[in-house]
Structure 1
């Protein structure tokens, strides 16, 4: 009678290795939905790309939430490992940020549901920000090579709160979160720049997170326009310009290095390309609305085309990776 392999030899269920970073997919789809919604309104386009992307993002958010709850219920230790990991811990706020972005996509069609997503997303994001910062402050194992642009996600993600928060009537709370995000954007940007210049390069699987550098000034610009009332006034001030042009320069800087990025093997971290590009696209379309300059319309259309193609390609590569069982596997 043939011997049976011991249970220990059986591979782990794939759900055990479902990464919290998967919620970056929702960020990318939601950001692209907002970008298309703005383009449709600005240029009077009849098609509703924004609506299709909104419902796709909402459906995937529900699916991913159920999957991660199953992981939490069946493999609690695996979730705790992510919560203590110096890199993976920073992706937990992608859950709350996804809710904040979904809130922004739902404002025009389902404001009641948008308010629910915003309230829960804001509360969860504050708790996650406090948790992650406590871990940062009292750790005993982090080293300089652990820091990467993904560290922006927990604290700098706070600048996204005003995007739906101001239209929903939460002005002072939105200023609170915006202030936290801008403060720590400056602090972390200095630390990450130091790491890039004077320490070893990022490993390949984290290289796409360089695009996260675009998101804080781009999203900060969008939030500041809401907070300051500049959209209603149809004007810009100096701080808004600094935020926008910072994001535009960082976009140009990273696009000049496209050859490095296309040679990378697919990782779920590739989704870091999507939301930052969507954010700078939205910011550019706002610049066109406020200035009327044709250059911003051209840049906005170029970026919108680029981020749309990027998201389509990422959806394809992710589906291939899931079908080929090369995702949701143990990290070597």
Structure 2
């Protein structure tokens, strides 16, 4: 037993923090639905408590890994795929600041400040690593590469409540421009190179997140659903439809932690749709939002069940 536990800690992957992103997005989606639709049962406070607890536990475990196995953490920083999951820590903080805003503006501000500053640091580090690397190839790129740079697009959602709008415009501009740059490279890789390995196929759902979350951020910045906001929303809808039509392909995949890449993009799409209903008052968006929320709830339930079984079988935290 003494040999098993260190081994699992040694192989504790940074991608665990994608679970926090999914659970926080799920929490925010339910909170918004409760208020918008007048739902009597309110699971969002419980979900928020569970998500905060999960984040703290994962952070303590990864800090323990960093102290005991610094070489493993250094190897993840140098890995062309795993590197991009380190900013899920800062994105988790940014999303938690959004979820905490209705309960405590002060706590939300502190978490947002830490998350935004940390994410800017990750952005600069990862971009520098990309610019000066000597071993990355086109085959290494996948939608997870959106996380470090395009994640900046999330900052204005709570940022407009906490600081000068110019700060939010700064982060939004970074995320928007690099979304277009990376989107072009990723589609080039998908069209003209080998398909993604099965373990990374779920990351295709990350394609939905930038336009869906970008639409929410854009609304926070300009205060209306205008032409550009509609472009972002409908691009997100198209990408969602494109990926949902390929559901049988995803159902056949073996479970990996990368399955959690399904969750946050679907949560962002759900929130974007509820925002469209709230602003335009078209029943189509209300029913679509409810359908997406139902799908998201079922998806998260499946993910939690499969993750719990994988942990029980020791199928995660193992050497790649």
- TM-score bracket relative to the smaller structure: over 0.9
Displacement, 1:50?
Answer: 1.3
Q: Deviations over 1:191-241 (max 9, x none)?
A: 0001110100000000000000000000000000001122xxxxx211000
Q: Deviations over 1:69-95 (max 9, x none)?
A: 000000000000000000000000000
The answer to whether residue 310 in structure 2 is matched with residue 321 in structure 1 is yes
Distance 1:138 1:38, change over 3 A: same
Partner of 1:99: 93
- Structure 1, unmatched stretches of 5+, are 1-6, 231-235
Q: Deviations over 1:237-257 (max 9, x none)?
A: 110000000000000000000
Q: Distance in 1 between matches of 2:5 and 2:250?
A: 32
**Structure label with greater radius of gyration:** 1
Distance 1:242 1:74, change over 3 A: same
Q: Distance in 2 between matches of 1:167 and 1:112?
A: 11
Displacement, 1:110?
Answer: 1.9
From 289, 294, 297, give the equivalent of 2:278: 289
Distance 1:313 1:69, change over 3 A: same
The answer to whether residue 247 in structure 2 is matched with residue 253 in structure 1 is no
Partner of 2:290: 301
- The answer to which of 173-182 and 36-45 deviates more is 36-45
Partner of 1:244: 233
Q: TM-score, normalised by structure 1?
A: 0.94
Partner of 1:233: none
Partner of 1:311: 300
Q: Distance in 2 between matches of 1:56 and 1:309?
A: 18
- Structure 2, unmatched stretches of 5+, are none
Q: Distance in 1 between matches of 2:33 and 2:207?
A: 24
Q: Pairwise mapping of residues 169-180 of structure 1 onto structure 2 (< 5 A)?
A: 169-180=163-174
The answer to whether residue 139 in structure 2 is matched with residue 150 in structure 1 is no
Partner of 2:215: 221
From 22, 25, 44, give the equivalent of 1:31: 25
Distance 1:330 1:296, change over 3 A: same
The answer to whether residue 63 in structure 2 is matched with residue 69 in structure 1 is yes
Displacement, 1:11?
Answer: 8.6
The answer to whether residue 185 in structure 2 is matched with residue 185 in structure 1 is no
Q: Distance in 2 between matches of 1:238 and 1:50?
A: 32
Partner of 1:264: 253
Partner of 1:52: 46
From 195, 204, 221, give the equivalent of 1:201: 195
Q: TM-score, normalised by structure 2?
A: 0.98
Displacement, 1:56?
Answer: 1.0
Partner of 1:141: 135
Q: Distance in 2 between matches of 1:135 and 1:286?
A: 37
Q: Deviations over 1:119-146 (max 9, x none)?
A: 1101100000000000000000011100
Displacement, 1:169?
Answer: 3.2
Partner of 1:113: 107
Secondary structure class of the residue paired with 2:161: coil
Secondary structure class of the residue paired with 1:13: helix
Q: Deviations over 1:157-187 (max 9, x none)?
A: 0000011111223311111000000000000
Q: Distance in 2 between matches of 1:41 and 1:11?
A: 44
RMSD of the alignment, in Å?
1.2
Secondary structure class of the residue paired with 1:159: helix
The number of aligned residues is 319
